Structure 1
Amino acid sequence: SALQHDEITRHRSHSIHQLFNSSALAGTDTAPLSNISYHFSSQYAASFYVQYYGTWTNTQISIINTLIANIGNTTWFNIQKTYYYQATDTSPKVNTAGPLTLGGAWILSSGLGNALTGTIIPNRFIYYINNGILPNDPGGIYLWLNSASVTESINYMYGFIGNAGRFIGQGCDPSAINPTLSPNDDLGVDAMASIIAHEIVEAMSDPFGNAWYDSNGAENADKCAWNFGTVSQSPNGANYNLLAGGRYYLIQQNWNAILQACAQSA
């Protein structure tokens, strides 16, 4: 049967493909700063279901799971609460309140090989959901995370995020801020953490690409991509700006819908 979860496919034309940014090499952002506005469509207070594909250590999985399970309790996530749902222009505004939860995490067999092409990832989502391997959650958001050992020729679709570990300093990580050391001692996975946070807030405020965006089509986190604001030094000497679940992270800012500006907290 057909895949029922359209939210899985939202990234065919939205947001995550913009996260390779040559400006990241200089630690700057070139996103347009026009106001973001609401266009009367759905939002999600979602559970996230994470699939780990390839070779992952327990520590690497813990870095990601801890972030997803705890980021909803941070002042950074309070920025997301400036967004709201409204059925019509005369209906009450219902602000995002959460919760944001880690619905589950799965370590997948590497039987698909180390070079994923074409429709392999979306077809596996269809198979896993339709066969009960993943929960059938109409309000769920599903992430597929590849380890650094896996290559892909698709352009970041279906909530897919690759590991930048083999491409440090090439526009997929905050190398201008943490060139050789990251808060959790894993440059690739720490770089994924910021991209995951980016996708979490966009998937909640604009799941189908028709709710919250600006005149250029940019979603909230797009407008602040590669902006990290004020940073502090973590115990290992790396720069960080977010503490969640006892771990340190370097996470990009998010766009505050009230202030119409990038922010680090609210």
Structure 2
Amino acid sequence: MRPSRAGGLLAPPVNSPYLLIFIVFFLSITTQCQAWRPWAHQDHPNDTLSLGDSKKFEGSSEFVHLRYHMGPVLTANITVHPIWYGAWAPSQKRIIRAFIRSLSPEGAAPRPPSVAGWWRTVALYTDQTGANVTRDVRLGAEKNDRLCSQGKRLNRLSVQHVIRSAVSSRTRPLPVNPLGGLYLLLTSDDVSVDDFCGQVCGFHYFTFPSIVGYTMPYAWVGNSARACPSVCAWPYAVPAGYGGPLAGAPPNGDLGVDGMISVIGHELAEMASNPFANAWYAGDPSFPTEIADLCEGIYGTGGGGSYTGQLTVDHHDGAAYNLNGVGGRRFLVQWVWHPALNYCFGPNALDQ
């Protein structure tokens, strides 16, 4: 979470040069799925290079010094409260609800690699007592703000005013839960937020008592389908002039919302491990880099630079994804930094 950007998630530069050596591992796949490489038509002489027993190639760096700064992490059970700002279709809400429910699924667990398996890496982070980030993440009460009470152009302060309205509403206010509540403001594709598309696709911070009345972690994520899908819905949309093949189709059939899912995961992971800007981060406290910032754009083994890493592409519908969720849903979610291994890690790694 970076105060000047408040934990903003940037899409990776699709046209940037290679930043890491690419490694190819053998992947056994079913007849329904295949692995996707964005530059399959090009020759890569380093693809067969072996690093021996070293697995530290996804975002790894000896210069990354992620440190704990003695602040709290979210060890109590987490309840995510979505605030739907603007017009949202029921189908769009179902996709996002399913992702949140997949973090701690009830009943039969989805087949691996799963969203819950991805969250287990987040849960490795601890506070000063040794207590871990909770693995219990639930979908809580929701609030609709269809008429856009703060207008259709928001800044960082008006975002907090939206949250204040949600927790102080005369009818069905959201519960106030400073210890385990995460307030997730989701703006529809016709709402703009300062720095959206230019610098950030989402951000997180904590509410000010002077505005909301409480100090609570919150995040904002916007639907980029209308404004900048090639920035915030990458790799399902790419900038004009990009000559390589596309990753595949959005797995839930909604470009903007499928693009939001990874941003939501990014912000939830950072809120859990650094809710008040004084727990886990690397770098200067005035511009900290958090556990998801370190792995932006990496979704699978070998990822880095302009390459997502290995994804699964379903032969039936062309959907590209890396995680399974509840109800047969599929999602694409970036990896996060592993605190013990010191590299970007996910449950769909081919080297496990």
| Structure 1 unaligned residues grouped into runs of 5+ | 1-9, 88-92
Q: Which one of the candidate residues 62, 66, 74 is aligned to 1:36?
A: 66
After superposition, the C-alpha distances for 1:164-190 in whole angstroms (9 at most, x for unaligned) are 112122355323685662111111100
Q: How does 1:1-266 map to 2 (within 5 A)?
A: 12-13=3-4, 16-17=7-8, 19-24=9-14, 33=61, 34-44=64-74, 45=76, 46-73=78-105, 74-87=116-129, 93-112=130-149, 115-118=152-155, 119-131=157-169, 133-139=173-179, 140-153=181-194, 156=202, 158-166=218-226, 167-170=228-231, 172-174=233-235, 175=237, 181-216=249-284, 217-229=288-300, 230-234=310-314, 235-245=316-326, 246-265=328-347
| C-alpha distance in 2 between matches for 1:123 and 1:32 | 39
User: 1:49-86 deviations in whole A, cap 9, x for unaligned?
Assistant: 00111121111101101101112352111111221111
Q: For residue 115 of structure 1, report the CA deviation from its aligned partner.
A: 2.1
| Matched AA of 2:88 | W
Whose helix fraction is larger, Structure 1's or Structure 2's? 1
* Partner secondary structure for residue 220 of structure 1: coil
Q: What is the deviation of 1:94?
A: 1.6
Question: In structure 2, do the counterparts of structure 1 residues 29 and 219 end up closer, same or farther at CA, with 3 Å as the change threshold?
Answer: farther
State the alpha-carbon separation in 2 of the partners of residues 186 and 209 from structure 1. Answer: 33
- Percent identical pairs in the alignment equals 27
Q: Distance in 2 between matches of 1:11 and 1:131?
A: 30
- The root-mean-square deviation of aligned C-alpha atoms, in Å, is 2.8
Task: State the SS of the aligned residue for 1:16.
Answer: coil
Q: Which runs of 4+ in 1 moved over 6 A?
A: 27-32
2:152–2:190: 8 Å Cα contact kept in structure 1?
no
- What is the rounded CA distance, in whole Å, between the counterparts of 1:43 and 1:29 in structure 2? 32
Change (3 A) 1:161 1:85: same
| Helix, strand or coil at the partner of 2:183 | strand
Letter aligned with residue 250 of structure 2: S
The answer to whether the 8 A contact 2:81-2:183 is kept is: yes
CA offset digits 1:185-219 (Å, max 9, x no partner): 11110010000000111100110111111235211
Sort the Cα spacing of 1:106 and 1:130 in 2 relative to 1 into closer, same or farther, 3 A. closer
Q: Give the whole-Å Cα distance in 2 for the aligned partners of 1:147 and 1:100.
A: 24
Answer yes or no: is the 8 Å Cα contact 2:233–2:256 preserved in 1.
no
8 Å CA contact 2:189–2:222 kept in 1: the answer is yes
SS of 1:95's equivalent in the other structure is: coil
Q: Output the TM-score relative to the length of structure 1.
A: 0.83
8 Å CA contact 1:190–1:249 kept in 2: the answer is yes
Inter-CA distance 161–178: structure 2 relative to 1 (3 Å threshold): farther
TM-score calculated relative to the size of structure 2: 0.64
Q: Verify the 8 A CA contact 2:313 2:319 in the aligned structure 1.
A: yes
Distance change (3 Å), C-alpha of 1:32 and 1:260: closer
